[in-house]
């Protein structure tokens, strides 16, 4: 009870996003054959069990080793992630401002974002702004500039088939006609730890998301993960946002020399300097929570369980 009492609560639904039911409906439309087809659902359940087993064994390469497994993961877990991420993005006003592109084109990098949770969440905030602009532009009022959201998804597994299906549904069901050209998605099947600052266009980014990915990166290669953060320090522009989130309580410890530290302590040190928010750091901490719940609407209509999520998050701004 104690941890829950101290936890923040994200809203089930923010008015600046599409409703949670519309978010899960997007997955229902995109993966209709898998979720509702007589043969598809049996195959889907079989693949989900395989993915569960691989994830339990921490064999991430095997878990996402083919399109069938990746599709199964997306159908089963991405709707939960997408609804939670949408609420988190809306809760963090700095992130919402970037995603809604009110003043200019914006560039977002989603590290480990292949499974579609971030993509759909971003679109759920971006889409309502297009509806407003479309109505406004057809009036006799001066037309509003139509700014673009440029999203770069980087993942070590090849999620292109899943991303393409989701993007197609977003364009056809949410954005329509010419509006889809302002929501630009590029997917890279690469290891983020081996990519250069130019590959990632770090100097042009307005928002970087590391959602449920940091532990995996540090497990893969501690030194390269630290170097990635150092690249952010060196090449990201002033005002760029960095959002890191993990399942609350899941952050592992890392050994540096003879001492063990929580990974979040190491991240803070690399980004903000040894004394925290002072002149020695490249970033400042804008918002944080060690425990925040997103409890989904129990009335959601989806053929699989949409789960509640308890997260740890930190939002940094480049200074």
pLDDT 10s digits, 151-183: 999 999 999 999 999 999 999 999 977 889 999
CA 107 to chain centre: 14
pLDDT for 272: 95
Angstrom distance (rounded) from CA 33 to CA 14: 30
Structure tokens at 266: 């190491």
**Nearest in space to 79 (alpha carbons), one of 305, 312, 295:** 305
The answer to whether the Cα torsion of 214, 220, 226, 231 is positive or negative is: negative
- Lookup: tokens for 52: 């569960």
Q: How large is the angle between the packed helices 20-30 and 117-137, nearest 10 degrees?
A: 110
Sign of the CA dihedral 242, 247, 248, 250? negative
Query: pLDDT means per 10 residues in the chain (319 residues)?
Result: 66 97 98 89 94 91 94 98 98 98 94 97 95 47 71 97 97 89 96 97 98 90 95 98 91 75 88 69 95 96 96 96
- Spatial neighbors of 93 by CB under 8 A, at least 6 apart, are none
pTM (two decimals): 0.92
Measured distance CA(68)–CA(65) in Å, rounded: 9
pLDDT at 3: 44
Task: State the sign of the Cα–Cα–Cα–Cα dihedral 206, 211, 215, 216.
Answer: negative
* Residue 272 to residue 281: CA distance in whole angstroms: 4
Which overall architecture, per CATH, does domain 2-318 show?
3-Layer(aba) Sandwich (3.40)
| Distance from C-alpha of 7 to C-alpha of 2, rounded to nearest angstrom | 9
- Phi (first) and psi of residue 303, to 5 degrees: -70, -5
pLDDT of the residue at 176: 79
Give the per-residue pLDDT at 224: 97
pLDDT of residue 240: 98
């Amino acid at each position: 009870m104690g941890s829950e009492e101290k936890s923040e609560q994200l809203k089930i639904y923010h008015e600046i996003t599409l409703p949670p039911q519309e978010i899960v409906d997007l997955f229902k439309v995109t993966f209709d054959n898998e979720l509702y087809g007589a043969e598809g659902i049996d195959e889907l359940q079989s693949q989900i069990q395989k993915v569960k087993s691989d994830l339990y064994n921490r064999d991430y390469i095997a878990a996402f080793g083919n399109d069938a497994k990746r599709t199964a993961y997306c159908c089963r877990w991405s709707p939960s992630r997408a609804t939670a991420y949408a609420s988190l993005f809306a809760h963090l006003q700095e992130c919402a401002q970037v995603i809604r592109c009110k003043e200019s084109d914006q560039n977002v990098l989603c590290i480990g974002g292949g499974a579609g949770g971030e993509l759909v969440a971003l679109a759920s905030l971006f889409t309502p702004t297009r509806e407003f602009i479309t109505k406004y532009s057809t009036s006799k009022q001066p037309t509003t500039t139509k700014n673009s959201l440029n999203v770069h998804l980087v993942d070590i597994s090849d999620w292109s088939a899943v991303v393409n299906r989701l993007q197609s549904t977003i364009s056809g069901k949410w954005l329509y006609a010419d509006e889809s050209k302002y929501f630009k998605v590029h997917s890279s099947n690469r290891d983020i730890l081996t990519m250069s600052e130019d590959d990632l266009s770090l100097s042009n980014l307005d928002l970087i998301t590391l959602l449920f990915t940091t532990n995996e990166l540090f497990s893969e290669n501690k030194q390269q993960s630290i170097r990635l953060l150092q690249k952010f320090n060196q090449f990201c522009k002033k005002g760029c946002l960095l959002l890191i989130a993990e399942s609350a309580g899941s952050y592992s410890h890392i050994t540096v020399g003879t001492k063990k530290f929580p990974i979040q302590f190491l991240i803070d040190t690399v980004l903000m300097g040894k004394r925290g928010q002072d002149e020695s750091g490249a970033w400042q901490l804008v918002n944080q929570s060690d425990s925040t719940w997103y409890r989904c609407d129990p009335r959601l209509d989806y053929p699989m369980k949409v789960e509640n999520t308890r997260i740890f998050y930190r939002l940094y701004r480049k200074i």
